[in-house]
Amino acid sequence: MKKTSTRLADGRELVYYDSRDDAVRDAVDPRALDQVSTTSEIREDALLGDAVAVASHRQGRTFHPPADECPLCPSRRGRHTEIPDHHYDVVVFENRFPSLAGDSGRCEVVCFTPDHDASFADLTEEQAGLVLDAWTDRTAELAEVPGVEQVFCFENRGAEIGVTLGHPHGQIYGYPFTAPRTALMLRSLDRHAQRTGGRNLFDDLVARERADGERVVLATGQWTAFVPYAAHWPYEVHLYPARRVPDLRALDGAARTEFPQVYLELLRRFDRLFGEGEPPTPYISAWHQAPFGDPRREGFALHLELFTIRRTSGKLKFLAGSESGMSVFINDVPPEAAARRLREVASAS
């Protein structure tokens, strides 16, 4: 992998990640852009203890532009985008409309491919491996940014999820706090250790799923994918490396080599869940990584969560009263049935 860092016209950082070591990235952003002005603010919910980002400047962000005006495509003669070069492999840049900025953290955009009409599932294993390298490098870089406590790499796919740009891309957030979801996991980690004489919750969870097998979707030498026993979403898969590590930086070579094949297979199965002729399955894919300064980080287990809000053909799972008002999820699809369906749609060998 070759990494080339440059600056956009308004001073935001942009980083090219190339599979070829001889790639040359010297294109200059010719646009006349004002410096990014943000109003990000972190407020604490006094009742729940949650951190809430208030970012009113995002009201004016780009919203469903036509394909020939996509800001994530490579620049062409006469049409300049967020990526100055005419081609790229993977590129990461600071978000022009960040939810978090300055002392309130950092937001980046990850473009997986220059092909506007592709999706992550269309990537080759080499391309998917380069995205993993980019996620890992950004985690390492943001770990050194003062004030950033946790890095969250994720992808939203599909208009039903709320995506405002159709080009295949994801985002990376550098939170200046430990995310509420992670804080809950860390508390569960503590309680499990106290109840079991020091055993690790994540290790026991993965071992139980592998031994039971009913909810396992895919198991290899380096990765295990399963539907959780108490899945929140109609089709939800958690993916764990065989060796527990706190974040992407600690993955070993064997796990990194095998990841593209495993992840691409899971994404392709998601697109086959509801049969031929169905539109692409909307999903959220999220890496859970340990906070940097937490004393329990070595007990935390890096894992990827992949889920869809589509519960059956033409029907979505909405977060209504119980879910949105009380955080009590009601799942219409039994996790065992979801796992069975995800095994049925495996790629032909």
Q: What is the pLDDT of residues 244-259, one digit of tens each?
A: 999 999 999 999 999 9
For the cut 70, the answer to whether the pLDDT of residue 38 exceeds it is yes
State the amino acid at position 109 in one-letter form.
V
Give CA–CA dist 42/147, Å, rounded. 13
Q: Are 8 and 81 in contact (CB under 8 A)?
A: no
> 96-112: buried (b, 16+ CB within 10 Å) or exposed (e) per residue?
bbbbbbeebbbbbbbbb
Instruction: Look at the block and give the residue holding tokens 């969560």.
Output: 305
Does the pLDDT of residue 329 top 80, yes or no? yes
Q: What pLDDT does residue 232 have?
A: 98
Is 80 exceeded by the pLDDT of residue 39? no
Whether 152 has a pLDDT exceeding 90, the answer reads: yes
**Residues 6 or more apart in contact with residue 186 via CB below 8 angstroms:** 178, 294, 296, 300
* Residues of the chain above pLDDT 70, percent: 99
Amino acid at 58: R
pLDDT of the residue at 209: 98
Q: What single letter denotes the amino acid at residue 158?
A: G
268: left (phi over 0), alpha (psi -120 to 50) or beta: alpha
Interval 56-79: pLDDT, tens: 878 767 767 888 899 999 999 889
The type of residue at 186 is L
Sign of CA dihedral 157, 126, 92, 173: positive
Q: Starting from the edge strand earliest in sequence, which strands make up the sheet with 223-226, in order?
A: 2-7, 13-18, 90-94, 106-111, 169-175, 150-157, 283-288, 303-308, 235-241, 223-226, 216-219
Alpha-helix runs per DSSP H in the chain: 125-143, 180-196, 201-212, 253-272, 326, 335-344
pLDDT at residue number 326: 95
The helix/strand/coil state of 185 is helix
Residue 37 has pLDDT above 90, yes or no: no
> For the segment 21-32, what is each residue's pLDDT rounded down to a tens digit?
999 999 999 999
Beta bridge partners of 52: 43
pLDDT for the residue 245: 98
List residues bridging with 234 in a β-sheet. Answer: none
CA atoms within 13 A on the CB side of 272: 15
Higher pLDDT, 140 or 104: 140
Can 86 be counted among the known catalytic residues? no
Question: Given 167, 169, 192, 238, which residue is catalytic?
Answer: 169
Residue 62 or residue 213, greater confidence = 213
- Tell me if the pTM is above 0.85: yes
The amino acid present at 206, given as its one-letter code, is V
pLDDT digits (tens, 9 = 90+) for 299-308: 999 999 999 9
Q: Which run of H or E residues covers position 46?
A: none
As beta bridge partners, residue 285 has 155, 306
- What's the pLDDT at 211? 97
Residues in CB range of 298: below 8 A, 6 or more apart: 246, 290
Q: Which domains can be identified in the chain, with CATH numbers?
A: 2-175 (3.30.428.10), 180-344 (3.30.428.10)
State yes or no: pLDDT of 107 exceeds 80: yes
- Nearest one of 147, 154, 186, 145 to 173, comparing CA atoms: 154
The pLDDT of residue 349: 63
Residues 180, 186 contacting (CB under 8 angstroms): no
